[in-house]
Amino acid sequence: MTGEGLSDKNVSKAHSKELSVLTSYRLNDFKKKAAFTLAEVLITLGIIGIVAAMTIPTLISNYQKKQRLVQLKNSFSVVSNAIRLSEVDNGPMTIWPTGADMDIDEYWTKYLKPYFANPVLCMTMKDCGYDDSFDTIKWGCGAQWNIMTSDARLLFKLKNGTIVFLPRNSYEADSTPIYVSTLYIDVNGASSPNECGKDVFVFKRTEKGIMPYPASGRDCHTSPSVCADVIMKNGWEYPEDYPY
């Protein structure tokens, strides 16, 4: 009896040892199968890199577009509010002096400068950060302007980086420059892309204050000067077919 009991115990221990060894082998085999080879790791990293290269630029571009929408709305608000404050003191912008009755220095010091927070008048485009390489035609919505303070032009930078440009495009019979009723707003200043409909937008003085240059049936694709109006009428969002 005693011998048989010891024999059974020995057999049980032998079985346990065999089971332990077998389990160990299986675990080691599983670990070997679960491990990645260097080639597999490199392939995986390569795929991740390709996906990142394809998606990151799109994510950055979408972020920049959204950011410019915010800048557009904020810039419009700042300029519009400043004009309204000036109109309280100086009457509607539609009756401000133009042509022969206009003194550009007075226009700046009386009608504009006091109503913005620390605006900087740019005597040349370089004073506002622009360089000679940027395309003035794209910036000017198809019109090429000499972007500098001269005669009836005003180019100034706001505290938030926005740049406002009030151009001149015609003359009185006596060759006196006529101050036009439109103004350009570059929502991110001299930073790229400096292109109409992307970061440069056109506005017009009206009896209701500063408003986007009206589309009036024109398309933003072919007439980028009306893009701000298209965006504003779409709840300050890009329409699905916006050319950007």
Q: Give which of 142, 139, 114, 138 is closest to 128, Cα–Cα.
A: 139
Percentages (nearest 5) of helix, strand, coil residues in the chain: 50, 15, 35
C-alpha–C-alpha distance, residues 208 and 92, integer Å: 9
Structure tokens at 113: 């400068």
* pLDDT for residue 12: 57
Residues 6+ apart with CB under 8 A from 180: 166, 167, 168, 169, 170
Measured in whole angstroms, how far is the alpha carbon of residue 152 from the centre of its chain? 30
- Whether the Cβ atoms of residue 162 and residue 81 lie closer than 8 Å to each other: no
- Whether the Cβ atoms of residue 229 and residue 206 lie closer than 8 Å to each other: no
* pLDDT for residue 95: 82
Helix (H, G, I), strand (E, B) or coil at 163: strand
H or E stretch at 185 = strand 182-186
Q: For the chain, which ranges sit under pLDDT 50?
A: 6, 11, 21-22
- Kindly report whether the global pTM for this prediction surpasses the value 0.85: no
* pLDDT for residue 132: 80
Residues 39-58 pLDDT 10s: 777 787 778 778 777 777 76
Q: Give which of 74, 91, 102 is closest to 207, Cα–Cα.
A: 91
* pLDDT for residue 97: 78
